[in-house]
Amino acid sequence: MLEITDLSLSFHTLYGTMPVLDRVSLSIEPGEIVGIVGESGSGKSVTAQSVLRLLDRNATYTGGSIRFKGQDVLGMKEKEIQGLRGKKIGMVFQEPMTALNPTMRIGKQLANVIRKHQGVTQAEADRLAVEALAAVQMKDPQKVFRQYPHELSGGMRQRVVVALAMSSPPELLIADEPTTALDVTVQAEVLKLMKELSTQTGTSVMLITHDIGVVANMCDRVYVMYGGTVVESGKTEEVLFHSNHPYTRALIEALPEGKPKSQPLKVIEGESFNARKRPVGCVFWDRCPKRTARCQEKPPVVEGLNGHRIACWEGKR
């Protein structure tokens, strides 16, 4: 469904050219839910937005490719990429209030999207919009259809955003931190809803998150990112329960679940990755407890068996 190969990208800033992504490779099969996990600044959202070419003009692709069902996304003209956005590839953004037009009723926003992608009459679009709200388990879809975004709770707004993204329905859904602003109970409901919609429609899902618990419950496979590169990937169970990269292990050890309240939580020592100071070698070398001189000298070779791949010099000659 989606194949990203050796994608590299830079931003032009006041401080000069800043390499943000470095040879990122990942793939998503039809009907598969794939997680991308990592702390803030790891390149998750930039990777996701690259798929739909939503980045600002100061972004430059410096290498690699993005292919959606065999089509070269980076080589598409603007009109061609618009044919993918919303219709074949849907996107759920982090903050629902910025994803919805505050001056427009919910029903009109949904109906506009449906008319654009399905070419139906206004009456039919309105009917499908109500059905879309019902599909995301909105209690009173007819009432919500007539309301403005500010009249809804955060959980209801996020359901509307999911309904917008799934209204076609798309072949690929990109969910970028879809539960960031929600409380734990609503978060669980939205994630369950997305998984059910994926199962019902056969839609593939790219789930961007910093929450390893969400990945464990939702995803078939997972990619762990740090410093704009993939450091470990594979089947979710393999990566989370048999992690090989020091960064993945550090993320898991930092989780509070299952630890005594009296025990201090482990932290990842050092400063977060700074793209302005990208090292020549491994991106995690300065924070890694297993680092050697070679880690600083050149980037590690990506190796692995049975789809479980790791970019690390540990244990290699």
Q: How many of the other CB atoms lie within 10 Å of CB of 250?
A: 20
**DSSP state letter for 232:** E
Handedness of CA 210, 94, 42, 270 (dihedral sign): negative
At a CB cut-off of 8 Å and minimum separation 6, what does 200 contact? none
Residue pair 23/7 in contact by the 8 Å Cβ criterion:
yes
Calpha distance 284→107 (Å, rounded): 47
pLDDT digits (tens, 9 = 90+) for 110-157: 999 888 888 889 999 999 999 888 888 788 999 999 999 999 887 788
Instruction: State the amino acid at position 188 in one-letter form.
Output: A
Q: What is the pLDDT of residue 124?
A: 92
List the domain boundaries for the chain. Answer: 2-88+168-311, 100-167
Predicted pLDDT at 315: 60
Taking the C-alpha atoms of residue 311 and residue 123, their distance in angstroms, rounded to an integer, is 54
CATH of range 2-88+168-311; options 3.40.50.300, 3.40.50.620, 3.50.50.60, 3.90.120.10 = 3.40.50.300
- Contacts of residue 180, defined as CB under 8 A and 6 or more positions apart, other chains included, come to 94, 95
What does the pLDDT read at residue 234? 93
Entry pTM: 0.87
Ordered per-residue pLDDT tens for the chain, 317 residues: 999 999 999 999 888 888 999 999 999 999 999 999 998 888 999 999 999 999 988 999 999 999 999 999 999 998 889 888 878 998 888 776 677 889 999 999 999 988 888 888 999 999 999 988 888 878 899 999 999 999 988 778 888 888 888 777 789 999 988 876 667 777 787 788 788 878 888 889 999 988 888 888 889 999 999 999 999 999 999 999 888 899 999 888 888 777 777 778 788 888 888 888 888 889 998 888 888 888 888 888 888 777 899 998 876 65
